[in-house]
Amino acid sequence: MPIGPASASSKGRLIGPRKKLLPSVDVQQKLDIHLNTVKKKSPRRAPSDRGFSLGKARVTVELHVDASDFEHLGRAIARLPEEIKAKAAARAMRRVTDMARSRIIKRNAERIDIPPSRVRAVSTAQFNAGGNTSDVILRSGWLPLYKLGATQTAKGVRVRLRGSYRSAFIAEMKSGHVGVFKRQGKDRLPIRELFGPNPAHDITNNPEVYLQVLTEVIEQSLMPRYLHEVDRLLPR
């Protein structure tokens, strides 16, 4: 089912359009999925052309559920015991939350050209049954180039999926830290460490991309999963 563009509210949140999507536990229920990004400052200074401000951004997909399009199904669900409806909704939301995290990881990795495992390592997902909300959170700083598969070459350093960095070199500091470095001038010192992208930074700068990912997951998966969980809980 297509969904229109999100609109900005007076508080700066992105709120998805209201759609009649699926029967809810109590017929009229609001389901929120929040996408949070927390950008951590890198332990070493990132390249000046990739500066960022610390902070936290939240993208909210706010879908108001209405069962009027599924009256016969809504009446059948309404007759179910409250315990079954609540358990089915919670299980469905947990499953959809995990799916949302996987889709966001995949989309993020594709956009910034890094292995999905790197994004997965800095992301979490959790479902709050009390508030019917799910949070998919990415916490990341700028990723050191060395951790993205850097190899030394005769002319510099080559990084998988990112190309070559001429005159760069891989070195180990006295502290034991290993990184990709480059001299800032013709002299031996000073040097600076080179960094790759920041997964959380892309989400903060392009919320509409990830809002669409969340919307698609909800539209495609929430209703089928909820009905599946109801069926599993019904006595045989």
Give residue-wise pLDDT tens across range 155-196: 999 998 788 999 999 999 999 999 999 999 889 899 999 999
Q: Percentage of the chain with pLDDT > 70?
A: 67
Using N-to-C axis directions, what is the helix angle for 82-112 and 207-217, rounded to 10°? Answer: 140
Contact 102, 110 (CB under 8 A): no
Predicted confidence at residue 122, as pLDDT, reads 86
- Residue 91, token pair as written in the block: 């299980």
- Residue 25, token pair as written in the block: 């536990």
Three-state DSSP class for residue 236: coil
Average pLDDT of the residues of the chain: 73
Highest mean pLDDT among 5-9, 44-48, 119-123: 119-123
Distance of CA 7 to the CA centre of its chain: 20
> Are residues 104 and 221 both part of a single domain?
yes
Give domain status of residue 214, yes or no.
yes
Give domain status of residue 15, yes or no.
yes
Give domain status of residue 84, yes or no.
yes
Give domain status of residue 189, yes or no.
yes
> Are residues 44 and 80 both part of a single domain?
yes
> Are residues 80 and 20 both part of a single domain?
yes
Question: What mean pLDDT do residues 26-47 have?
Answer: 46
Band (45; pLDDT cuts 50, 70, 90): very low
Domain range for 117: 7-142+199-233
How many angstroms separate the CA atoms of 159 and 152, rounded? 9
Give domain status of residue 1, yes or no.
no
Band (73; pLDDT cuts 50, 70, 90): low
How many angstroms separate the CA atoms of 180 and 206, rounded? 28
Contact 176, 119 (CB under 8 A): no
> Are residues 131 and 20 both part of a single domain?
yes
Give domain status of residue 108, yes or no.
yes
Enter the pTM of the model.
0.66
- Residue 77, token pair as written in the block: 């669900």
Dump pLDDT digits (tens) for 3-14. 333 332 222 233
Band (108; pLDDT cuts 50, 70, 90): very high
For residue 106, pLDDT over 90 is answered with yes
Q: What is the largest CA-CA distance in the chain?
A: 78
Q: What is the tally of structural domains in the chain?
A: 2
Contact 147, 160 (CB under 8 A): no
> Are residues 26 and 58 both part of a single domain?
yes
